[in-house]
Chain A
Amino acid sequence: MTTMIERPPGGPDAGPPSGRGRGVALPTGLPSGLPDDVDGVVAALERWQEVLERDHGVRDGLACFNRLYLRVTRDIRALLDDEEVCGKDFLARLDVEFARRYLRATGGGAAVPRAWAVLLDRRAEPGIDPVRFAVVGITAHVNLDLAPAVVRTCTVLGRSAPGPAERADYRAVNDTFARHLDTLLGQSGPRCDAVTDVPVVLAREVTWRQVLQLWEQRSRPTEYEREIDALDRRTALIGRGLLTLGALT
């Protein structure tokens, strides 16, 4: 937990350009290596929150999402600690794989996917309120990362296919997000326009279909890549729309 920022943080202008493969490495604020278990995920998100707030301020677009994501992950950890829940392997691993995708995408090093670049590009714009940032983050994370994380979890756990048990765990993650989003929207009052509740509600079934489709393509790597790329483009489109005031209202 000693890796510190090696370069000064970039302002909005120094942010990564949108688009795959052209991403400029972000300042690395993550603990060395990616988390391996749920405790590790919570710790990594906590640390990331500190770094984001310190470097970009509490109103930073990504920090707004990370704050919510941290709460979601703590809830999932509580779910896993519950003795009554059996067969936790999958949910625990899914939580880790899901978080690793986010941390890799936003934590610097790798190229930034378009869906995240949309948020990072405008993270410091004062005209966008925190709830909107959080919603855009959820959109990016759930739409872009959840389906591939489910597929990867099935693959590394040797599951024969994403079935009912996997679907239940997938839903647990998705529903935890939805719950926190509702709370957030409830707190923020009527000021929020109707667009904010669209993406996740929409995502639940759509994303599971996406899981099944990706699973079918997992033995065809280039086809899989193309599908992920298309997913990234679609998600970025939604994110951009949500960040543009009035675009969808």
Chain B
Amino acid sequence: MPGVTHSAAGRAFHGRAAELELLGAALRRTAEHGASAVLLGGDAGVGKTRLVGEFGRAAATEGATVLTGRALDIADAPSFWPVVTALRMHARSGAGPAARTFAEALERLDETGGAAGDRVGMLGELGAVVGRAARSAPVVLVVDDLQWADRSTRDLFAYLLAGLATEPVLLVGTYRDDPAGGVPAALLPLVTELRRHRTVTFRQVEPLPRGALAELLGMWVPDRPDLEPLVWQHSSGNVFLAEETVRAVLDGDPRGVPQTVRELVRAGTATLSPAAHDVVRAVAAGVGGVEHPLLVSVLDRSGAELAAAVREAVDAGIVVVTGGDGYALRHGLMTEVVAGDLLPAERIELHGRYAHALAGYESVPGTAARLAHHWQRAGHPKEALTATIAAAEEAERLRGYAEAHRHWLRAATLPVPGAEAARGGYLENAAGAAELAGDHDSAVALLSERLAGPDAPVGLDEAVLRARLGRYLMSAGQAGEAEEAYRRAAAVLPADPVASGAGPPGAVLPPGGPDAGGGPRPNMLPVDPTEAARAEVLAGYAGALLARADFAAARTVAQQALEPARRVGEPRALASVLGVLGFGAAYTRDGGAAQEALAEAVEIAEATGDPATLGECLLRRAELLSGPLNALDDGVAAARAGAERMAELGLGRTAAVSLRALAANGLFRKGAWDEGEQEVARAWAAGPAGAEMIELRLARARLRMGRGDLDGSELDLAAVELVAGSTGLPKLRLPLLILRAGLEMWRGRPEVAFTHVGVGLDVVESGIDDVWAVAPLLWHGARAHAEAVLAGRPPDAGGLRRLRRHRRELIDRGERSDPALRGVLTTYEAMCTAEDSRVTAGADPATWGAVADLLERLGQPYPTAYARLRSAEALLAGRRRSGAAELARAAAGARALQADPLLTEIAAVARRARVAVPDLPDPPAGAVRVEPVVPSSPVDDPLSTLTGRELEVLEVLAAGATNKEIAARLFIAPKTVAAHLARIFAKLGVTNRTQAAGVLRRHVPESERTE
């Protein structure tokens, strides 16, 4: 090699000061703000990897724990690959508490997949590992080539951001821009979610400017300044192209300096000896870093010979050593070119050799997926199938269900003769993995395809599969479809031998009363599969009917499910049937039966000694009490006692958190907000993760919003959205949108709130029509509409028509429903109608008063105070005397709750209406100055001659209001407005409204005026 060793040249790094500063500042900020992320996009070869490598080294010298992983460029990569390899490398090479933490965690993961029960649990587990490490020093987690990362890794990114609110963790991701420009398609969902999160920074890494490239070139080849114009012309600042151009020039390529990446790389490898060239080809065909022993087996060369060949390739700057004992080509672009240049025969041969060599390493984590990749490329579908199944099972152990989903699909489509019979099973497994990955749509679609396929199961198997489809549909929020799926499942169930012998299907209880068959039976006899299927199908059917608010039918079917469930004796399933039965009974006004069913469920759970089942039963009982049984105090007490119990049983972070979140929601409803906040704080202190963290954050968002901590509330909502988005929890979508709409309303942006409601209606129209959530959504819509109209920014007529249509549908539904549901829907409809009355001329001012009375009777202090405010507004607008008293009642209610945003609104109404209400907060800073501050002189400030009321009138007028609108806003008669205006014009010496508004604008800065 002439003159220069390329490896030395490759190491030089220069410039990128702005990017390094960005990363450094982001890391420093994590000390205060918790986890944050920087995502770096850019063209291939622009220098992203070098940049983050450089930053990682700097951060490590300052004491940070730096974890670096790279995603694999294969279609179906092992779960969490970049993260797990990064942890493994650090555990192996690093010292200190972090390395020990990682080593222990990895050991647990390798053995059992950790303690995690599901994928959100697994994300929580890994999040906790990183969080623990961050206690001793800040953690930097770098994932290179995020566009290739497995979905579990991408989900973890979102999860860490949402979950680590206080730990100093910086996530750095690099991704290659799409060839067509912009973010690559695989990353779009993640990027869309992250963009909403304020602790995420996006930055394009641009090619080096000419000056910086020239300086870098001076460091590579100090004696050749003459190369600069050529290198700039060929690379335009792309560092990889610049390096390769320099190499080509120095090697004196006789064909002239190549221009394209492909030609450059070919020129670079052309000078190698045949043995070194083989090394390069072999490494290019490998996946990720190719370990030395693996390379030895693939190339089948003697040690000394191979060592020399590898040394040559490394010295030529084409092969680099990664992570201790592996090899890779220096740049991904090189790998692509070299691998692309392999002839089909060479490719098949190399992949076959890899597959044979790797077959000895099957116990090493991550091997199965690589093996499947090589067998498939080598044209051995049978061996690929075996490896693919192993990869799927390994992914499931790691709760990497998104990858397991893909592996099972691959298994189902590999053309292996003789494997046809097993394919249906692989499709079912794929559906199951998709479901656990939170991809409910794919799970449903796959199982539907399976059921429509030529070899679809029949009889009992069909019933079980249809019930599973029903279960997936339920978790997709599609209760209507789920009901149909379960109905069909029930229809193909074989006749019940016991029931048909014992009496008509309606005769539910076993002879001798409920206790005769009660409790789980000793598990001695093998369970009849027909019985088990019957129990499962009917239990699911009952649950779907309950979700559809068809309470009577739910109760009937649950009772039919009870008997086989008792005979099967699986406690969790039995408890779940009893739960549905209880709710069905409660909603059909049979409180006694409801309590009995839940008491039995708790009893069964106690008898099994399984704390998780007990936790579910306690939660359900508390829900029953605070929900349909209308015993809110009892429900809260039951939830609190249950939480204590669960904490004692070691479920302080999971079941206890759910119970406390339930208690907090109950306390919020009954107006005991201080106590609610205490419950949230206690639960938060336990450090919940996953689904429980989501529940708790929602409870806290509600409380914070009520109390006026709007930013804190938004933080919780954003965190929930981040997790819910990546794990696709459809049940959360409507509650989240409702809370978002509420938040925007308090922020004075009703038109934005209305947009959120519109998105909610999209969700409803997609079949996720949880009736308990639809009603409050529609009320938020009606309120947002009224407030947007009042603010002079009315939403478009189409949106309003749609809202009205949904309201009519809900009324119809109420008329068809059981009384329990009808009552709730009627209340919300009354609230909607009352909201409409705010913007309807000639509406009855008593409308809101009736709503407030209704809400008060229902024991809902917060909505009651809100309705009183609206009632007072309506009465004051009609200049009724009772308005002042109503406003005082609203204020008293809001004050008792310390509901600050509501109190502020009440105060604003009091001020405009000139009603004295004691103990109201001062107007917020920046609002209107009722009295001009320091009136200098009438000449300097003509406004100083106006009275407070006149100034108010002028303010409203300047916003473009008509006399009628001014009257409505200030609760005075239009005639009075005219009188005020005449005096204002005279005092200001103007003749019309425009001039008057002009005077105001000249003398009061924009920022000090209202709205």
Contacts and interface: CB of A to CB of B under 8 A. Distances in A.
Nearest to A215: B445
Contacts of B344: 83
A156 B427 contact: yes
B454 A110 contact: yes
B469 A156 contact: no
Contacts of A220: 444, 478, 481, 767
26 contacts: A34-B454, A36-B415, A40-B415, A83-B344, A104-B454, A151-B445, A155-B449, A156-B413, A156-B446, A156-B449, A157-B413, A158-B406, A158-B409, A158-B430, A160-B185, A218-B441, A219-B444, A219-B445, A219-B473, A219-B481, A220-B478, A221-B469, A221-B473, A221-B485, A222-B484, A223-B767
B201 interface: no
B476 interface: yes
A163 B484 CA distance: 31
Interface string B430-466: 1000000000111011101100001000000000000
Contacts of B420: 33, 36
B75 to A, nearest CB: 9
B242 interface: no
A110 B469 CA distance: 22
Nearest to A83: B344
Contact of B412 (A83, A104, A156, A218): A156
A155 B412 CA distance: 12
A223 B445 contact: no
Interface in A74-118: 83, 93, 100, 104, 109-110
A234 interface: no
B621 interface: no
Contact of A156 (B409, B444, B454, B767): B409
Interface in A17-33: 33
A93 B412 CA distance: 12
B448 A218 contact: yes
Contacts of A37: 415
Q: Name the 9 nearest CB pairs between A and B, nearest first.
A: A219-B441, A218-B445, A219-B444, A221-B448, A36-B415, A155-B445, A37-B415, A158-B409, A222-B484
A54 to B, nearest CB: 24
Nearest to B443: A219
Interface on chain B toward A: helix, strand, loop, or mixed SS?
Answer: helix
Nearest to A219: B441
Nearest to B469: A221
Contacts of A156: 409, 412-413, 427, 446, 449
Nearest to A109: B454
A83 B344 CA distance: 10
A233 interface: no
A224 interface: yes
B838 interface: no
A245 B126 CA distance: 70
Contacts of A224: 448
Contacts of B469: 221
Given A219-B478, A222-B481, A155 B413 contact: no
A164 to B, nearest CB: 10
B446 A155 contact: yes
Interface string A51-93: 0000000000000000000000000000000010000000001
Contacts of A151: 445
Given A83-B344, A221-B481, 7 more contacts: A36-B420, A93-B413, A155-B442, A156-B412, A221-B448, A221-B485, A222-B485
B405 interface: yes
Nearest to A154: B445
Interface in A212-238: 218-224
A152 interface: yes
A85 to B, nearest CB: 14
Contacts of B442: 155, 158
Interface in A138-176: 151-152, 155-158, 160, 163
Interface in B372-423: 405-406, 409, 412-413, 415, 420
Pick the most buried of A109, A151, A223: most chain B CB atoms within 10 A of its CB. Answer: A223
Contacts of B484: 221-222
Nearest to A38: B415
A156 B412 CA distance: 8
